[in-house]
Amino acid sequence: QKDNLMTTCYINGKYKPLGKSTVSVTDRGYQFSDGVYEVIAVFKNEFVDFKLHLNRLFVSLKKMDMKINLNKNQIESIIKKIKKINQLEMGIVYIQITRGDQNPREHKYSNNLKPNIVIYSIIKNFEYLNKLAQKGVKTSLYPDVRWQRSDIKSISLLGNVLAANHAKKNKSHEAVLFDNKNMITEGNSSSIWIIKKNKCITHPLNFRILKGCTRHKLISILKKNKFKFEEKKFSITSLLNADEAFMTSATNFIMPIVKVDKYTISNGKPGLNTLKFRNLFINAI
Ligand code: PLP
């Protein structure tokens, strides 16, 4: 596969090497992080939850009051074309849409801006994650210092970046965020779940978390398999005392959590239900 800078990138109607794909300094994404993004995994040459991600992209655009001159079908064709040109068999397609260039710089946005649309792909090794899932991962707690509209998949990711870096410093796979009442919201880039007494629990959908596509897919798997689940807030203490814990995301699928900082979850091994759900998820894709 090609070196990443040579990867083909769609940028505002053109297909260019990623290394030669640029936007202006006056782009509102660069100036204000005024934009949205989406990540779609490709696993064994197939897109994972394609429609869920495509729909969420348009939901994010709507919530940001952004209009683009391409419809869902057109975006879908570009994503598929990028996968094909780059011969992507395992990895992600990344989509970023910013509100466009505005000069002079001003917080208030003009209504006649032309959004900058960028779509490219990145090779990722999901086999490595598969191996990791057999052992489970360590996570680290971090306060949820993000803005209050985490339901929008916006490129304003500073809180997530700080949390992820805290996790990295602590040799953790992911940061688990908690609010000012010590309740878990989500991961720095995942949804967080616990299992207690054979019931799956995850934070309810509201402004404080992203509506994860993997979360959505897992809920339908749970329903199909008649496994109890509830969308309700749970505390740090509940996480530490859970029978099983795991995270879900487009790239991790369903990843067992076996440690939270110095605390071990249950017996320190991936939960049996968690591994079962992971297999069901992989079979479903
Ligand atoms: N929450 C946040 C903050 C995320 O960034 C992500 C994914 O990147 C998720 C949850 C999980 O969403 P999905 O399952 O759609 O990847």
Active-site positions? 153
19 has a pLDDT exceeding 90? yes
The residues, ordered by sequence, that sit 6+ positions from 50 with a Cβ below 8 Å of its Cβ are 40, 76, 79
Ligand 1 pocket, residue 8 CB under 6 Å:
no
18 has a pLDDT exceeding 70? yes
**Amino acid, res. 104:** P
User: pLDDT at position 3, please?
Assistant: 73
- pLDDT category at 115 given cuts 50, 70, 90 is very high
User: pLDDT at position 2, please?
Assistant: 52
Distance 164 CA to ligand 1 centre (A): 13
Buried b (16+ CB within 10 A) or exposed e, 168-185: eeeebbbbbbbeeeebbb
Query: Look-up: residue for tokens 């939901």?
Result: 59
By most ligand atoms within 8 Å of CB, the mutation choice from 40, 190, 202, 221 for ligand 1 is 190
